[in-house]
Amino acid sequence: MTITDRPVNNGVNVEALLGAREALSAAPEAAEFTWRASCTWRNGTHSHSTVNGFTGLGAEQQHRTTFEYDVDHPECFASEDNGATPTEVVLVGLASCLTAGVAAVAQFRGIQLRSVTATIEGQMNVLGILGADPDIRNGFETVTVRFAIDADASREDLEALVAQSQKRSAVFDIVTNPTKVLVELA
């Protein structure tokens, strides 16, 4: 480990996060957030989604810009492959949530990161979604995430970092725990 006078900087504002934790504990209604996305069918399995507004801190909020996502299926599914599959978008959500958590926890614990790469895989037997085998579920059988981290820290510290990022991850919770989902016709 090199000794340096430079403060740890992973680009995470820990003071702001700790301040938010304190402020929101005192005003729990402001902690209620609603996240939104809108998805429009284009053609075949191709859809176009936008993300812009969300609710939180007791008010309507907006992203800096509207983010857009084309989602489709690959040609081997007889689709046009205009974008990642929905399942891959879920993997992106999980990996990016855990990675953000790694950075935040590292900042909080005074660990300087040099590089972090998460490689994520979800194993799925598509006989489930094809309706060909009722014993096979539609979703992932397992999801594996492998983190390659270059940082000023011991392996044990990095294991703790990765464990804590799972503990505090919204998407990890969404993927590992059942969630009530209501789908209705407008």
Partner 1 sequence: MMQTTAVVIGAGHAGLAMSRRLTDRSIDHVVLERGEVANSWRTQRWPSLRLLTPNWQTRLPGHPYAGDDPDGFMPAADLAAALTGYARRIGAPVRTATTVHAVRAASDGYQIQAGGDLLHARAVVAATGACNQPVIPEVAAAVPPPITTLTPLAYRNPGQLPDGGVLIVGASATGVQLAAEIHRSGRPVTLAAGEHVRLPRTYRGRDIFWWLEATGLLAERYDQMDDLTRARHLPSPQLTGTTPATMTDLNSLIAQGIRIVGRLGRITDGVAQFSGSLANTCALADLKMNRFLTRADEWATASGRSDELPPPHRFAPTHVDPRAPLELDLTSGEITTVLWATGFRPDHSWLDFPVRDRKGRIRHDGGVVTGAPGLYVLGLPVLRTRASTYIHGAADDTKALASHLHAYLKRS
| Collapsed DSSP state (helix, strand, coil) of residue 96 | helix
75 vs 150: CA distance, rounded Å? 37
Q: How far is the CB of 44 from partner 1 (least distance, A)?
A: 32
In the numeric block, which tokens belong to residue 59?
A: 């008010």
Stretch of 8-16, 47-55, 118-126, 165-173 lying at the interface with partner 1 (CB under 8 A) = 165-173
- The CA-atom distances, in angstroms, between 117 and each of 17, 146, 158 are 23, 8, 13
Report if residue 176 touches partner 1, rule: CB under 8 A.
Answer: yes
- In terms of Cα–Cα distance, which of 38, 96, 104 is closest to 71? 38
Scanning 30-38, 61-69, 73-81, 167-175 for contacts with partner 1 by CB under 8 A, the matching segment is: 167-175
Closest distance to partner 1 from the beta carbon of 7 (Å):
19
Output 114 or 180, the one with its CB closest to partner 1: 180
Residue 147 binds partner 1, judged by CB under 8 A: no
- Cα separation, 51 vs 48, in Å, equals 10
The smaller minimum CB distance to partner 1, of residues 51 and 124, is found at 124
The one segment of 7-15, 87-95, 117-125, 162-170 that binds partner 1 by CB under 8 A: 162-170
Rounded distance between C-alpha atoms, residue 139 and residue 128, angstroms:
8
Question: With binding defined as CB under 8 A, does residue 82 bind partner 1?
Answer: no
**Euclidean distance between the first and final Cα of the chain, in Å?**
59
Of 92, 98, 89, nearest to 168 by C-alpha is 98
146 binds partner 1 (CB under 8 A): no
- For residues 83 to 122, the per-residue mask of contacts with partner 1, x marking binding by CB under 8 A and - elsewhere, is ----------------------------------------
H runs (alpha helix) in the chain: 14-26, 86-108, 155-167, 170-176
What part of residues 38-77 is at the interface with partner 1 (CB under 8 A)? none
Residues at the contact surface with partner 1, assessed by CB under 8 A: 28, 142, 156, 159-160, 163-164, 166-167, 172-173, 175-178, 180
